């Protein structure tokens, strides 16, 4: 661990970098803008509208720290999913783990590790698609299709978005059908055999009344990891995705809009699980090589449907109903030890079936007040079935541990969020939500049919019948209170205090009776109080935008996943850290330096730590330690991103050049609660570039692109594992190598 004084000095230096970077940028842009003779309206930045407050508003008017990335920018950056998009949002980190289905999301340095197979616990960031909650953790890394924009809301969003948005919410808004014939196809070809085709068609059925849109895509790419045991090259890390969405928009009148949507996503992955980098069964110390003697496979199938109805009443109040259904499945199997040994092999199946219903009423905006109020209901049934096999034998008998659990959740909430306009330029914001949730946990029979001594040796129970756990009830309010002051059309400041909750949770359900007796069955609800001030400003006739937010988040009973290594087979447990906090700031900027040059970016600074957390079991020593003062995993002190986009007319067409840079400070991997070197990840620098050409008078487009141009290959995941025994190993994953390709886009 770093010396305390050195660490403090580093934090001070990073804080100064964070504060000075946007100031230097503004000075540069100001100089360029003043020297320019063109002050035409075309130089103004495009207004971005968001729905963060369940209303359509300008991003510059919303008193929340929010990033909004439009569909064109998402496509130009090559971001196919949330993990890739996180490079372009300050204080948003999407880490890696053993399984591609993991959603290791950290916002503002707040992070809760939820294993893929843990269905009784929830992550602290809510992901929504067109207002419908994505549900379990293995759904978090949503892939993008035809997307209008993605909004990342930082800080607790429980008032309007509900439980389990304790550190933030991610709102994905798809492109809706329009009343004109339209369509297009895009083909990406590139390194490692990349072939990515996607397209859409928009069909007006009844003019100005009914339109249909169908979109879909298929992505295939070879792996980048060799297996030295089997001799296979490009063995793991490849991609095979298929997705589709069908949407209909019906507008029977000017006051009523009905949106119906159904989508699916399927993926078959040969996983880049990890590489062994130390220990008795280490590999050849060459990056991107594995030694496992069995493949690690993950298969994902997700499907969803929703109906959204919005109707304006005669008094200009608006009623909105959003009904959502999800049916998601995940299956995996893998080499637990990751080595030549036939020590352990595991597999499992997860599923969730979910229904959500939201009904809300929004008042018209007036000089005195406006509000949004509503009710929300969620019913979720999740199931987990797992098998661990010891030795070389496979099958439903010798040496197997079969286990499983079901968790059924019913949640209902009522909420109201209001703005009181005290003066033309002064507004009071207040919101309240009350959530009543019940979780029912059931442990499914666990057996070792032929080798019961294995269960005894590993403290795995043998259940002959399903066993119910005590119900978990979370009945808590969440709230927000704030004030905003507008100084002009181009400057607004705000301050707020908000309270968020995360539901009480089950650990892995093995034997509820025994786990309850030892205090390892459940974790209490988690709470946070967020204090925030911010400013949103525009400069030089809206040629420059600069937004700043500073925050302090005070956590009580933060849920932390731990690993009990006193057994031959690790047992995942869930506990509450007594106190944790994170503080820092976010800066976002955009500047139209000239008609041809646009620069944008963001800076995030966090100082996140466990203030009081005693009794954590160290993975290597197996001793209980006090980790008070340790950094929260996945919490870099500093992250930074910047994009430069240049447009010029040449060769009878338009050439757009885009350069992206992102920096992520050193941080600890997802399970590195005890901040040892086993979990330390280095600073990360990623450079992407793209150059596109569109001929005048035609809509087709061709682009050359390169990602990770410098071929950065630092660790993106690192962990100590107790298998194979007796000493265990350190495992890691490395940044995906440089890739490049050509994109062809043809609208029709």
For strands 289-290 and 225-227, give the pairing.
Answer: parallel
The percent of residues in the chain predicted with pLDDT above 90, rounded, is 58
Average pLDDT over the chain reads: 86
Gap between the Cα atoms of 584 and 674, Å rounded: 22
Residue identified by tokens 């003019």 is 207
Task: Tell me which long-range contacts 370-374 makes (C-beta under 8 A, separation of at least 24).
Answer: 370/55, 370/418, 370/419, 371/416, 371/417, 371/418, 371/419, 372/53, 372/54, 372/55, 372/160, 372/416, 372/417, 372/418, 373/414, 373/415, 373/416, 373/417, 374/320, 374/414, 374/415, 374/416
What pLDDT does residue 564 have?
Answer: 59
> Per-residue pLDDT for 338 more than 90?
no
What pLDDT does residue 16 have?
Answer: 47
- DSSP conformational letter for 677: G
Higher-confidence position of 390 and 194:
194
4-747 under CATH 2.40.50.140, yes or no = no
Q: Could you tell me if 109 and 635 are in contact, meaning their C-beta atoms sit under 8 angstroms apart?
A: yes
Q: Which of 7-16, 208-217, 434-443, 662-671 shows the lowest per-residue confidence on average (mean pLDDT)?
A: 7-16
Higher-confidence position of 17 and 407:
407
Domain residue extents for the chain:
4-747
Q: Which of 178-187, 231-240, 525-534 shows the lowest per-residue confidence on average (mean pLDDT)?
A: 231-240
What pLDDT does residue 400 have?
Answer: 64
What pLDDT does residue 252 have?
Answer: 95
Gap between the Cα atoms of 521 and 509, Å rounded: 7
Tens digits of per-residue pLDDT, 462-477?
Answer: 666 788 889 999 999 9
Confidence of residue 36 (pLDDT cuts 50, 70, 90): very low
Q: What is the mean pLDDT of residues 630-656?
A: 94
What pLDDT does residue 33 have?
Answer: 45
Torsion of CA 308, 313, 318, 322, to 10 degrees: -20
Q: What is the mean pLDDT of residues 628-651?
A: 94
Q: What is the mean pLDDT of residues 402-413?
A: 91
Rg value, the chain, Cα: 26
Q: What is the mean pLDDT of residues 264-278?
A: 89
Torsion of CA 690, 141, 529, 625, to 10 degrees: -110
Q: Against a cut of 0.85, is the pTM above it?
A: yes
For strands 125-129 and 168-174, give the pairing.
Answer: parallel
């Amino acid at each position: 661990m770093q010396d305390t004084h050195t660490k403090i000095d580093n934090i001070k230096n990073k804080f100064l970098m964070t504060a000075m970077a946007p100031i230097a940028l503004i000075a540069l842009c100001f100089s360029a803008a003043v020297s320019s003779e063109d002050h035409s309206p075309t130089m103004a930045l495009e207004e971005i509208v968001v729905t963060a407050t369940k209303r359509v508003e300008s991003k510059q008017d919303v008193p929340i720290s929010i990033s909004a990335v439009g569909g064109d920018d998402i496509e130009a950056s090559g971001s196919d999913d949330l993990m890739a998009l996180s490079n372009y949002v300050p204080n948003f980190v999407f880490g890696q783990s053993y399984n591609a289905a993991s959603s290791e999301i950290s916002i503002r340095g707040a992070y809760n590790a939820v294993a893929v197979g843990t269905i009784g616990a929830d992550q602290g960031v809510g992901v929504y698609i067109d207002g419908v909650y994505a549900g379990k953790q293995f759904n978090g890394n949503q892939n993008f299709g035809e997307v209008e924009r993605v909004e990342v809301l930082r800080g607790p969003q429980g008032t309007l978005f509900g439980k389990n948005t304790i550190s933030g919410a991610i709102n994905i808004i798809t492109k809706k059908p329009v009343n004109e014939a339209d369509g297009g196809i895009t083909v990406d070809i590139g390194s490692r055999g990349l072939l990515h085709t996607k397209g859409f068609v928009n069909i007006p059925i009844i003019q100005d009344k009914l339109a249909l849109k169908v979109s879909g895509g298929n992505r295939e790419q070879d792996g980048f990891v060799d297996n030295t045991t089997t001799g296979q090259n490009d063995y793991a890390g490849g991609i095979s995705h298929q997705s589709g969405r069908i949407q209909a928009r019906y507008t029977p009148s000017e006051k009523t809009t009905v949106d119906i949507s159904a989508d699916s996503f399927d993926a078959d992955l040969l996983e880049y699980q990890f590489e062994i980098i130390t220990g008795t069964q280490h590999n050849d110390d060459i990056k991107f090589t594995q030694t496992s003697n069995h493949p690690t496979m993950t298969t994902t199938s997700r499907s969803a449907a929703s109906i959204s109805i919005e109707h304006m009443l005669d008094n200009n109040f608006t009623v909105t109903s959003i009904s959502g259904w999800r049916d998601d499945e995940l299956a995996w199997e893998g080499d637990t030890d990751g080595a030549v040994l036939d020590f352990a092999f595991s597999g499992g199946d997860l599923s969730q079936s979910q229904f959500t219903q939201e009904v809300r009423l929004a008042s018209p905006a007036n000089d005195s007040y406006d509000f949004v109020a509503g009710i929300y209901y969620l019913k979720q049934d999740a199931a987990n079935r797992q098998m661990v096999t010891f030795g070389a034998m496979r099958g439903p008998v010798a040496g197997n541990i079969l286990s499983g659990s079901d968790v059924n959740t019913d949640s209902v909430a009522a909420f109201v969020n209001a703005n009181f306009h005290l003066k033309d330029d002064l507004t009071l914001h207040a919101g309240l939500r009350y959530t009543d949730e019940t979780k029912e946990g059931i442990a499914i029979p666990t057996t070792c049919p032929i080798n019961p001594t294995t269960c005894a040796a590993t403290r795995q129970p043998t259940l002959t019948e399903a066993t119910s756990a005590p119900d978990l009830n979370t009945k808590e309010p969440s709230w927000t209170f704030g004030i905003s002051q507008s100084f002009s059309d181009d400057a607004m400041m705000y301050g707020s205090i908000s309270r968020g909750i995360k539901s009480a949770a089950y650990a892995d359900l093995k034997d509820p009776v025994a786990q309850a007796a030892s205090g390892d069955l459940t974790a209490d609800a988690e709470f946070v109080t967020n204090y925030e001030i911010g400013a949103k400003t525009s400069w030089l006739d809206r040629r420059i935008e600069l937004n700043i937010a500073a925050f302090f988040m005070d956590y009580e009973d933060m849920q932390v996943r731990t690993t009990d290594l006193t057994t031959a087979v690790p047992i995942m447990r869930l506990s509450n850290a007594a106190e944790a906090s994170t503080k820092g700031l976010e800066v976002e900027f955009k500047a139209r330096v000239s008609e041809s040059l646009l620069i944008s970016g963001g800076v995030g600074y966090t100082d996140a730590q466990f203030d009081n957390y005693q009794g954590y079991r160290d993975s290597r020593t197996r001793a209980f330690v006090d980790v008070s003062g340790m950094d929260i995993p996945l919490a870099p002190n500093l992250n930074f991103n910047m994009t430069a986009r240049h447009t010029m007319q040449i060769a009878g067409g338009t050439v757009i050049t885009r350069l992206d840079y992102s920096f992520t400070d050193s941080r600890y991997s997802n399970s590195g609660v005890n901040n040892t070197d086993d979990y330390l990840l280095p600073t990360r620098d990623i450079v992407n570039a793209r150059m596109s050409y569109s001929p005048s008078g035609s809509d087709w487009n061709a682009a050359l692109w390169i990602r990770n141009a410098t071929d950065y290959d630092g660790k993106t995941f690192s962990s100590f594992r107790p298998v194979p025994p007796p000493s265990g190993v350190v495992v890691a994953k490395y940044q995906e190598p440089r890739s490049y390709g050509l994109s062809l886009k043809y609208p029709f």
